[in-house]
A and B are shown apart, each in its own frame.
Chain A
Amino acid sequence: MIPSRHMARHSQTEAIQQAIEVQELAPPSSGLLSSLRHWRHWRHWRQRALIPYLFLLPFLLLFSFFILVPLLYALWTSFFIERLIGGTTFVGLQNYQEVLHDGNFWEGVRNVLLLLFTQVPLMLGLALGLALLLDSQIVRFKTIFRLGYFLPYAIPSVIGALLWGYLYSAHIGPFAQLAELLHWPPPPFLTAAGLLPSIANILTWQWTGYNMVILYAALQAIPPELYDAARVDGASGWEIARHIKIPLIAPAIVLTVVFSIIGTLQLFNEPQIMTAIVPNLIQDHYTPNLYAYNLAFTNQQYNYAAAVSFVLGAVVFVFSYVFMLVTYRRGQR
C-alpha cells in the first residue's frame, strides 16, 4: 500500500509542477507516436485505429441510451405543444419565447443566483479555511475532524429532510425547546424571511465537507520541500498559506467553484425537501429546476418543462463558462 501511495504522490507532484509551470505546453501525443511506429503494418494500424472506439463503446452506448437520446428527445419535444384536447402541434421556438417572458422562471433564477452569490462563497471559504487548518501543523486528530466534516455528504437527501424538518421545528425542535427554556421566541427557521437562510444552511451543512476534502487532498499533494524554504525564511503559517498553498491549489479551488455553480443553479433536492416541511412557503417555482419538475409532473406541461430545462442549461453554461474564462484570463496574466 505504502509504495503505491508514494508513487501517486510523485506523479501528483510532477503533475502539479506541470500544471503551474508549463501550463501551455501540451504533452506529446502518444497515440500519434505509436501509430507512426506501426506505419508499415497497415492492417495492424487499421486495427489499432478502431481500438479507441471499441474501448469507448461501453460508455458511449450507455451514455447515448440514458443521456444523449433522452436529452435529444426532450429537446425535440420542446418544439411542440401537447394539449389535453387536440393533441400535439409543432410550435417552433414558441415555448422558448414563453420561458424568456415567464416571471415564475426568472423568480426562481433570482433565488438560485442569490444563493450562488451568498451561500457559495461562504461555504467554499469555510471549506478552504478548514482544509488549510487541517493541513497546517497546529492541529491533531485530523482524521476525526475530516471524517466528521465529510459525513453529511453521505446522508441521502430524504433522510436529510427528516433531520432538518425536526431540528427546524418551532414546536418540537431542540432549538425551539432551548429558546423556550430561556423565554425567547422560537428561532424563525421556517418563516418567509428565514427560509432562504435555512436552505443555505442545509446546503452548507451537506456540501462543505465534500469541498473541503477536495481542497485538502490538493493541499496534501503539494511537496513539503516547497514550504521548507519559506519556513527557514521565517514565514508564518498564515503567510505560507496565503502565498504558497492557495496559489498552488488554485485549480482545485476553480473546480469546487464550477461544481458549486452547476449545483446551485440546478438546485432541486433541498427546496424539494423544504416543500415537504413548509409547503406554504415554497412555491412550485422556487428554483428553476423545481419549476421544470412541477411543470412536467403536476401540470403535465411536458413540452414547456423541457424548454425550461434547456434554458436553465444555457444559464448554467453561461455562468460556468464566464467564470472559467475570467479565471483563465487571470491565470494568463
Chain B
Amino acid sequence: MARIGSLPAGGSVAATRQISARTVGRRSGWTLRGLVLLFLVLMLVYFVIPLFWLVVSATKTNDELFSTFGLWFAPDFHLLENLHDVFTYDNGIFVTWLTNSAYYAVVSALGASLIATLAGYTFAKLSFPGRELVFAIILGSIMVPNTALAIPTYLLLSKVGLVNTPLAIILPSLVTPFGVYLMRVYAEQALPDDLLDAARVDGASEWRIFWSIALRLLAPGFVTVLLLTFVGTWNNFFLPLVVTNNPAYYPLTVGLANWNQLSQAFSGSRILYTLVITGSLISVIPLMIGFLFLQRYWQGGLTFGSLRS
C-alpha cells in the first residue's frame, strides 16, 4: 500500500502513456479505467448484497420481513425495538452468548497463537531428531475431515469430565496445525540466523532468545494467526454444538441456530425470526471492526504462508 501511495497514481499513468503513446490514447485509458471500476463495483455489490439484506432486515418487523421488498427499507424503522428485543429476550440470554463468544474467541486466539508461534519457531530455528516427521504428521492431520474427530473428541472430553464446560470449547481451539505451518514459514524468513547465533554467543538462554528477540520479529505472523483463530473460534458452530448442552455456555452461533430452529417450529416463537436476524447482524460487527483495525498486520502475515513450496 505504501508503495502505491508513494507513487502518485496519475504520474505513473502519464509515464506509461508517454512511452506507449502510439497504442494507448487518452480516451481509451479512461474507458479502461471506467470499465475496471465498474467491474470492481459490481463485484463489491455481489459480495456485500447478502449483508445489505441483513442490515435492511434488522430494521423490519416480522410482518414486514415477509411482505416488503427484501433489499430496501420498510416505511417504519424498527431497528431500535429489534435491538431491545434481542438483548432482553429470555432474560437477556443473548448477552450471555455474546460474552461467551468473546471469551472463547479471545482466550483461544491468544493461546493458540502463542502456542503456534512457539512451535513454529522451534520447527524453523531449532534442529532436533524427528523434526520433519513430527511436522509431517501435524500437516497430514489436516487431510482427515473434522467430522471424524467429533465423536472421539466428545468421548475423550467426557472421560476427563470436561463436557459441558467452557474448556471443552477452548482447549480444542488452541490447536491450529495451519497456524504452526504459517509460523514456521514466517519464522524461517523473518528471523535471520545470525541474529539468533549472536544472541547465543552472548549467552542468552533459548527461552530468552525466543521471548525477547524472536517474538518481536514474528509479530505480524502472530497477529495473522491470532485473527484467523479468532474468526475460526467466533464462527465455530460444530464443536460447541457437540460439546455443550447447556445454553448458558453456548456461543452466539449455536444460540442463534437454536433460536432459528425455534422460530421455524413453533407459532408462539415466530417473533424470534427478527431476533435471529438482528442477532446475526450484531454477531458480525465485532469481526468487521477487528479486520478493519488490524488489516495492515494480518495482510503482511498472510504472505508468508505462501512463500514456501
A174 to B63, CA, bound (A): 16
Cβ contact within 8 Å between A147 and B180: no
Identify which of B151, B219, B291, B307 contacts A251 (C-beta below 8 A): B307
Closest to B137 in A: A68
| Contact pattern, B 260-297, Cβ under 8 Å of A = 1, otherwise 0 | 10000000000000001100100110011001100110
> Which residue of A5, A67, A73 contacts B141 across the interface (Cβ within 8 Å)?
A67
Q: Complex Cα distance A133/B288, Å?
A: 23
A262: contacting residue among B15, B39, B123, B142, CB under 8 A: B142
- Minimal Cβ-Cβ distance residue in A for B254: A158
Asked whether A231 and B15 contact (CB < 8 A) given A55-B122, A70-B153, the answer is: yes
* A48 contact set on B, CB distance < 8 A: 206
- The answer on a CB contact under 8 Å between A137 and B299 is no
Q: A67-B149, A69-B156 are in contact. Are A151 and B47 (CB under 8 A)?
A: yes
- Distance between B191 CB and nearest chain A CB, rounded to angstroms: 9
Q: How many residues of B contact A (CB 8 A)?
A: 117
**Does the CB pair B300–A5 fall under 8 Å?**
yes
- Asked if residues A139 and B37 are in contact (CB atoms below 8 Å), the reply is yes
Given known pairs A5-B300, A55-B118, A56-B122, the reply for A310 and B291 (CB within 8 Å) is: no
A230 to B300, CA, bound (A): 25
The docked-state distance in angstroms from the alpha carbon of A220 to that of B149 is: 38
Within 8 A of A (CB), among B166-221: 171-172, 174-175, 177, 180, 188-190, 192-193, 196-197, 200-201, 206-207, 210, 217, 219-220
State whether A28 touches B193 (Cβ < 8 A). yes
Q: Determine the distance from Cα of A235 to Cα of B266 in the docked complex, in whole angstroms.
A: 65
Contact with B along A171-215 (1 / 0, CB 8 A): 011100100000000000000000000000000010011000110
Identify which of B1, B172, B309 contacts A142 (C-beta below 8 A): B1
CB distance from A328 to the nearest CB of B (A): 8
A59 touches B70 (CB 8 A): no
**Interface residues of A, count at CB 8 A:** 124
Question: Chain A residues near B146 (CB, 8 Å)?
Answer: 266, 268
Query: Is A87 part of the contact surface with B, judged by Cβ < 8 Å?
Result: no
A326 on interface, CB distance cutoff 8 Å = no
Which residue, of B12, B51, B147, B235, has the highest number of chain A Cβ atoms within 10 A? B147
Contacts of A93 in B (CB 8 A): none
Docked CA distance A262–B139 (Å): 12
A78 to B197, CA, bound (A): 48
CA distance A109 to B111 in the complex (A): 36
Complex alpha-carbon distance, A159 and B259, angstroms: 12
Say if the beta carbon of B95 comes within 8 Å of chain A: no
If the complex has contacts A205-B50, A213-B302, are A312 and B127 also in contact, measured as CB distance less than 8 A? no
Residues of B within 8 A of A214 (CB): 302-303, 305-306
B36 contacts A209, C-beta separation under 8 Å: no
Cβ-based interface call for B148 (8 A): yes
Residues of B237-253 whose CB lies within 8 A of A? 237, 252-253
**B126 within 8 Å of A (CB atoms):** yes
User: Chain B residues near A60 (CB, 8 Å)?
Assistant: 119, 134
State whether A156 touches B237 (Cβ < 8 A).
Answer: yes
Task: List the A residue with the shortest CB-CB distance to B301.
Answer: A217
Q: How far is the CB of A28 from chain B (nearest CB, A)?
A: 7
- The CA-CA distance from A330 to B116 in the complex, in Å, is 32
CB of B181, distance to nearest CB on chain A (Å) = 10
Given A29-B127, A162-B260: A292 and B13 interface contact (C-beta under 8 Å): no
Q: Is the CB of B13 within 8 A of A137?
A: yes
How far is B260's CA from A317's CA once the two chains are assembled, in angstroms?
37
Min CB distance B274 to A, Å, is: 12
| B154 CB → nearest A CB, Å | 9
Which residues of A (150-174) have their CB < 8 Å from a CB of B? Answer: 150-160, 162-164, 166-167, 172-174
Interface membership of A148, Cβ < 8 A: yes
Contact partners of B142 in chain A: CB under 8 A:
262
Q: How far is the CA of A146 from the CA of B134 in the complex (A)?
A: 37
- Give 15 A-B contacts (CB < 8 Å), ordered by A residue: A8-B300, A12-B303, A15-B304, A60-B119, A66-B172, A140-B9, A145-B44, A154-B231, A159-B54, A205-B46, A218-B306, A220-B1, A231-B15, A289-B147, A313-B144
